[in-house]
Amino acid sequence: MNPTTRRRAWRVAFPSAALATALLLTACTSAESPATSSSTAATTSSAAASGTAGTSATTISGTGSGSVAPSGSSTSGGAQPSGTGSASPSATSGTTSDDLQTTATRATTPVAPTSPGNIDQTVPSRAETTAPAVDLTETGNYGNGVTVLLDKITAVETAAELPGEVAGPGVRIDVSITNDSDAAIDLGNVVVDLQDKDGGPATFMTADPSAPFSGSLPPGETASAVYVFTIPATDRSGVTVTVRYSIDAPVVVFTGDAQ
């Protein structure tokens, strides 16, 4: 059989060989298409998820308390809270900028002074008046219904309690004030002093049995107190005891020997 006849015989024997090859190529192409489409769909879905994650991240970071993974991270499933983020102070404090501004700018109501005042004003001085001196055993009179009496003077050993106090030999003076005036007097203003014969002040002591006047003394009442001073025994001759209770009343003066 010559070559030409052989080719014709092959074509007759296998008339669909070319068709089969074409069908096979078509089938392969069709099989790859779904995979390509699936890959394309997955890519599109991932991009969409990434875009949504980006949007969610923007929304959550502005309102929530947790931080969000950025859209470009490899975390699957989109944005996820970190679990450790904290809210901004402005979101949790409950205080707005308007509240802060109101608090900062709120002014207090000014209170007008009772008098305009004057830096050049001079307050006239008041001379202290002194009642005539009496003996240590007599009653001092303020001339307004109030009287004072040194009930007794006793030698004691004083104890130092506060800075500046000096312990040593001293005296205890029991004092009583009687109020026969028409108004109560403030005993918290009472001041009792002791001076030696040369005018040197004795040291007032606060330790027991010292118990100065305090409170208020109504009309018709009598109050008693104890004053303790450190003073050497050699300086107790010719001492002076003064008792004040008000700037509107004179100073009562007692003199004598406190032996």
Of 59-68, 90-99, 104-113, least confident by mean pLDDT is: 59-68
Q: Quick one: 233 and 153 in the same domain?
A: yes
| Exposure on the CB side of residue 89, measured as CA atoms within 13 A | 3
Residue 142 lies in a domain: yes
Q: Quick one: 29 and 138 in the same domain?
A: no
Residue 192 lies in a domain: yes
Residues 221-235 have pLDDT tens digits of 999 999 999 999 999
Q: Quick one: 141 and 251 in the same domain?
A: yes
**Could you tell me the pLDDT band of residue 6, with boundaries at 50, 70 and 90?**
low
Mean pLDDT rounded to a whole number for the chain: 74
Q: Which domain holds residue 171?
A: 134-256
Domain of 200, CATH number, reads 2.60.40.1240
Q: Quick one: 165 and 252 in the same domain?
A: yes
The reported pLDDT for the residue numbered 205 is: 94
Residue 114 has pLDDT above 50, yes or no: yes
Residue 33 lies in a domain: yes
Residue 248 lies in a domain: yes
Residue 112 lies in a domain: no
Give the end of a domain, one of 18, 37, 63: 63
Residues 184-195 have pLDDT tens digits of 999 999 999 999
**Could you tell me the pLDDT band of residue 8, with boundaries at 50, 70 and 90?**
low
Residue 234 lies in a domain: yes
Give the end of a domain, one of 19, 39, 63: 63
Of 83-92, 126-135, 227-236, 250-259, least confident by mean pLDDT is: 83-92
Q: Quick one: 59 and 144 in the same domain?
A: no
What is the rounded average pLDDT of the residues 44-56?
A: 42
Per the structure, the count of domains in the chain is: 2
Residue 70 lies in a domain: no
The DSSP string of 88-107 is -HHHHS---HHHHHHHHHPP
Residue 127 has pLDDT above 90, yes or no: no
Residue 195 lies in a domain: yes
The reported pLDDT for the residue numbered 124 is: 79
Q: Quick one: 144 and 226 in the same domain?
A: yes
Q: Quick one: 35 and 139 in the same domain?
A: no
Q: Three-state secondary structure along the chain?
A: CCHHHHHHHHHHHCCCHHHHHHHHHHHHHHHHHHHHHHHHHHHHHHHHHHHHHHHHHHHHHHHCCCCECCCCCCCCCCCCECCCCCCCHHHHCCCCHHHHHHHHHCCCCCCCCCCCCCCCCCCCCCCCCECCCEECCCEEECCCCEEEEEEEEEEEEECCCCCCCCCEEEEEEEEEEEECCCCCEEHHHCEEEEECCCCCECEEECCCCCECCCCEECCCEEEEEEEEEECCHHHCCCEEEEEECCCCCCEEEEEECCC
